[in-house]
Structure 1
Amino acid sequence: MKLSVIIAAILLLASHSAALAAACQFESQGEGRVADVVDARSLRLDDGREVRLIGIEPTTTTKQALAAMLAGRDVSLRGTDDTPDRYGRQPALVFVGESDTSVQALLLSQGDAIVSAEIADKDCAAALMAAEAEARRGKKGSWADPSAIKNAESPDDILAGIGRFVVVEGKVLSVRQAGATTYLNFGRNWTRGFAVTISRRMVPAFESAGIVLKSLENRKIRVRGWVEGNAGPRIDALRVGQIELLGTN
């Protein structure tokens, strides 16, 4: 990808939504020059620091897009907590040069990444979701593939993605509680159908966000997360942002 194309994409993204550029500013966590793109979610600076890009999950094109965008570039880091993760990587939003638009938002707007829903700040989370939505509407990048969004009525297709981060859409047929877990069931067969699981400790967070779990019955939603399960696929909703309401039927 040519540098001129990248700059044009940044300018287009910033002009498309001023709110997108204004969000996700957070506290400065330092600056540096990119020495290497380690993998699809992390890079190494010339001072030896390794950085993990927060807020996104990679697609098959993320590493290539990052390498084209960041190789040898000066970047600044922003975030709410610079405590290294268990691999020694500093979690941060990354900005190229003087740009007010994060690399994460740019990747999302190109369809080269998926929102992870890990960022709790509402304005920042909304901005990243807006960038992803732009790519979905334009069928850019990974969203050009019709199978990029899984159908909740096709549990075998979802289960084939076990261990991967996926996006699923469908209607919640029932909401059931079993012990400390609430199940959003998308199929009549609770054992084999797709379901979203929500632990009791997460319920107050959903209610604070205006989502009463029982009210999701017969609602169409979009959910994102890591696929688990054996007979039937499951996604554990650990964050409110993993669930989006799409309609009333």
Structure 2
Amino acid sequence: MIRIDTAGSMTFRRTRTRWLTSICGGAMVLVQLDGAAVAGCAELPVLGEGVVASVIDARTLRLADGAEVRLAGIEPAGEQPEAAEALLTALTLGRRVVLHGADDVPDRYGRQRAFVALQAGGELVQRRLLAEGRALVGIDRAPTDCRKDLLAAEAAARGAALGIWVQENVIKNAANSGDMVARTGRFTLVEGRVVSVREVGSTVYLNFSGRWTRGFAVTISRRIAGANEAAGPALKSLTGQRIRVRGWIEHRAGPVIVVRDLAQMERAGGD
């Protein structure tokens, strides 16, 4: 919780790990959208509030007391973030915002990560950016209902071809490994059919190409996979399934996305 005194400064009181773990345990499963949207993000504990003095970039705000807030749950969309920054400015500049989250520990740059609502009970800024096609759902851990709401907003913008979704190649084809290599180090949505699932040592590989040493793959530690298969389908059952995965492209023998939370993946067959 953050207490705001009469001078407008914010004092943090940590409310962290146990609550976050208990509500996120069910979130690390494959998410299949059912069209339902729920306001889970704005129901997270209130961390504090303040007036937005400036917009630093497409997902970072500076409050009047100098505190910096990083929008949780989303990543910049497209190669030119100016449109997202303009929308964020129009939504928040000079307005009082309420910060929601389960962790009030700043990141290494001193920024508070939070879900940001326009006043108490107001519109969630992240959802608006997603709904207008100016952001992508990120891979921050979040309660299941919160994540479903964000994914639903992204899906609605995609269906309406809004913002970046007017382009046809926002979601990359897993079969085109060359395209993946070009995006090394960048947050990317990739979609394709799982050709095989292999377990090598402590790692599970979801291969999207028959040339599994060079084609695109998703890697998941056996510890993460085993801890979550009780709540969802076994990973081996995904062979032949069409999957969408989000994360940062790394280049090893071939391009990979390292999955640290199974919520990074969703079935794409129903789109």
| Higher relative contact order, chain-length normalized (CA < 8 Å, sep 6+) | 2
Determine the C-alpha separation between the residues in 1 that align with 2:72 and 2:159. Answer: 23
Q: Structure 1 unaligned runs (5+)? A: 1-16
Alignment of 1:35-114 (within 5 A): 35-59=53-77, 60=81, 61-114=83-136
The equivalent residue for 1:12 is: none
The equivalent residue for 2:154 is: 132
Q: Answer yes or no: is the 8 Å Cα contact 1:20–1:128 preserved in 2.
A: no
| SS of residue matched to 2:142 | coil
> Per residue, is there more helix in 1 or in 2?
1
Question: In the TM superposition, what is the alpha-carbon distance from 1:98 to its structure 2 partner?
Answer: 4.1
Question: In the TM superposition, what is the alpha-carbon distance from 1:100 to its structure 2 partner?
Answer: 3.2
Q: Structure 2 unaligned runs (5+)? A: 1-34
Establish whether residue 32 from structure 1 lines up as the match of residue 54 from structure 2: no
Q: Answer yes or no: is the 8 Å Cα contact 2:37–2:152 preserved in 1.
A: no
Determine the C-alpha separation between the residues in 2 that align with 1:149 and 1:22. Answer: 26
* RMSD value, Cα: 1.8
Q: Answer yes or no: is the 8 Å Cα contact 1:77–1:94 preserved in 2.
A: yes
Q: Answer yes or no: is the 8 Å Cα contact 1:209–1:240 preserved in 2.
A: no
Determine the C-alpha separation between the residues in 2 that align with 1:232 and 1:64. Answer: 37
Determine the C-alpha separation between the residues in 2 that align with 1:209 and 1:129. Answer: 20
The equivalent residue for 1:207 is: 229
Q: Which moved more, 1:20-29 or 1:197-206?
A: 20-29
CA shift in 2, pair 1:181/1:44, >3 Å: same
Determine the C-alpha separation between the residues in 2 that align with 1:111 and 1:101. Answer: 16
CA shift in 2, pair 1:22/1:233, >3 Å: closer
How many percent identity over aligned positions? 51
* Residue 178 of structure 2, aligned match among 156, 168, 171: 156
Determine the C-alpha separation between the residues in 2 that align with 1:107 and 1:30. Answer: 21
Amino acid corresponding to residue 136 of structure 2 in structure 1: I
Amino acid corresponding to residue 69 of structure 1 in structure 2: L
CA shift in 2, pair 1:186/1:76, >3 Å: same
Question: In the TM superposition, what is the alpha-carbon distance from 1:117 to its structure 2 partner?
Answer: 2.8
TM-score, reference length from structure 1: 0.88
Determine the C-alpha separation between the residues in 2 that align with 1:205 and 1:137. Answer: 34
